[in-house]
Amino acid sequence: MTQSTSVPTVQLNDGHSVPQLGFGVFKVDPAETEGLVSTALQTGYRHIDTAAIYGNEEGVGKAIAAAGIPREELFVTTKLWNDDQGTDAALAAIDSSLGKLGLDHVDLYLIHWPAPKNDRYVETWSAMQQIQQQGKATSIGVSNFLVPYLTKLLDGADVVPAVNQIELHPAYQERDVVEFSRSKGIHIEAWGPLGQGKYGLLEDPAVTAAAAAHGKTPAQVVLRWHLQQGNIVFPKSSNPARIAENFAVTDFELSDAELAAITALENGGRVSSHPDEVN
Ligand code: NAD
């Protein structure tokens, strides 16, 4: 089995560490999840990012159980869906997720979206703190939180979120959210790190030139760009060759000029709905 020792770890504000590169399973068919996560674990990935709404926590759990990797070597994230915000629902939702995963705790539990129309995310954060105290989630954080939502959450928080998982790729860099989060000690996890293959990112000359210069693929260059800015990433692929390709990004370094050329690709191209609208 490939070793994962070359993946850097990032230390979170609560003292716990996360492998900076993982495997995401959004839109992975539940029936294929166990096989693909097993492939990822065999490749060397030790960090898996799922969510209750993906409907594939059971497949993730089966792959983990079958792999026989010591639990402390794995980092597993899942997320609380919008309908489960509020104290009682959140406390029940983590139990449901842990049951499906076959685990007694996750390493990271996230509020998936602020869902501002329901306006329950401050109350939900209190429940997340309880979940952490109960030992059911080692670290807790948020996802898709823009600055006003983070500000309101922090006002009433005893625990500062360990991460904010946001859409972030060269075409959409959310610099205001990144700067604000980092100023509060909140690490950035970049979802959609490849822009879900949209916006011609992987065909752009800034990316393809760097790929040619380093003997790497465009996807590897974009993932490397993330790692060199300190982002935590977990690209998704259902193709075993690409799962391996996306893992082989720790053995080269982009120059400052290459990084700058890729950073210049910002064009406001978001792949998801706006967080104000997801409820
Ligand atoms: P991604 O940017 O990782 O794109 C995945 C797509 O890129 C694949 O389906 C494939 O089409 C393409 N791709 C993958 N590897 C490639 C390669 N080597 N070469 C060429 N094309 C390649 O997008 P994502 O899946 O949306 O994001 C990654 C993970 O982030 C998800 O699986 C999930 O875990 C998480 N996520 C979180 C949220 C959230 O709201 N918190 C939303 C979306 C995704």
pLDDT greater than 80 at residue 191: yes
| Strand spans (E) along 89-136 | 106-111
pLDDT tens digits for 227-244? 999 999 999 999 999 999
List the strands of the sheet with 137-143, edge to edge: 23-24, 47-49, 75-80, 106-111, 137-143, 163-167, 187-191, 232-233
pLDDT, mean over the chain? 96
80/52 Cα distance (integer angstroms):
6
Ligand 1: residue of 188, 196, 223 to mutate (most ligand atoms within 8 A of CB) is 196
Please tell me the distance between residue 26's alpha carbon and the centre of ligand 1 in angstroms. 7
Distance CA 66, CA 235 (A): 22
pLDDT category at 3 given cuts 50, 70, 90 is: very low
Report CA(186)–ligand 1 centroid distance (Å): 22
Burial 237-266 (b: 16+ CB within 10 A, else e): beeeeebbbbbbbbeeebeeebbebbeebe
Tell me, yes or no, if 109 is annotated catalytic.
no
Tens digits of residue pLDDT in 46-94:
999 999 999 999 999 999 999 999 999 999 999 999 999 999 999 999 9
Q: What is the pLDDT of residue 198?
A: 84
Residue 49 near residue 22 (C-beta atoms within 8 A): yes
> In whole angstroms, how far apart are CA 102 and each of 64, 95, 110, 219, 273?
9, 10, 18, 33, 32
- pLDDT given at position 91: 98
The amino acid present at 162, given as its one-letter code, is: A
pTM higher than 0.75, yes or no? yes
**Ligand 1 centroid from CA 173, angstroms:** 15
Tokens of 168: 């972030």
**Structure confidence at residue 123 (pLDDT):** 98
CB atoms within 10 A of CB 187: 22
Secondary structure letter of residue 260 according to DSSP: H
Cα 28 to ligand 1 centre (Å) = 10
Each residue's pLDDT tens digit, 75-86:
999 999 999 999
Res. 5 pLDDT band, cuts 50 70 90: low
Copy the structure tokens of residue 269.
């191209």
Give the closest residue (by CA) to ligand 1 atom 35: 191
Q: Which amino acid, 194?
A: L
Nearest CA to ligand 1 atom 34: 24
Residues at CB less than 6 angstroms from ligand 1: 24-26, 49, 112, 143-144, 165, 191-197, 202, 219, 234-237, 242, 245-246
- Residue of 79, 194, 226 best suited for mutating to test ligand 1, as the one with most atoms within 8 Å of CB: 194
What percentage of the chain carries pLDDT values higher than 70?
98
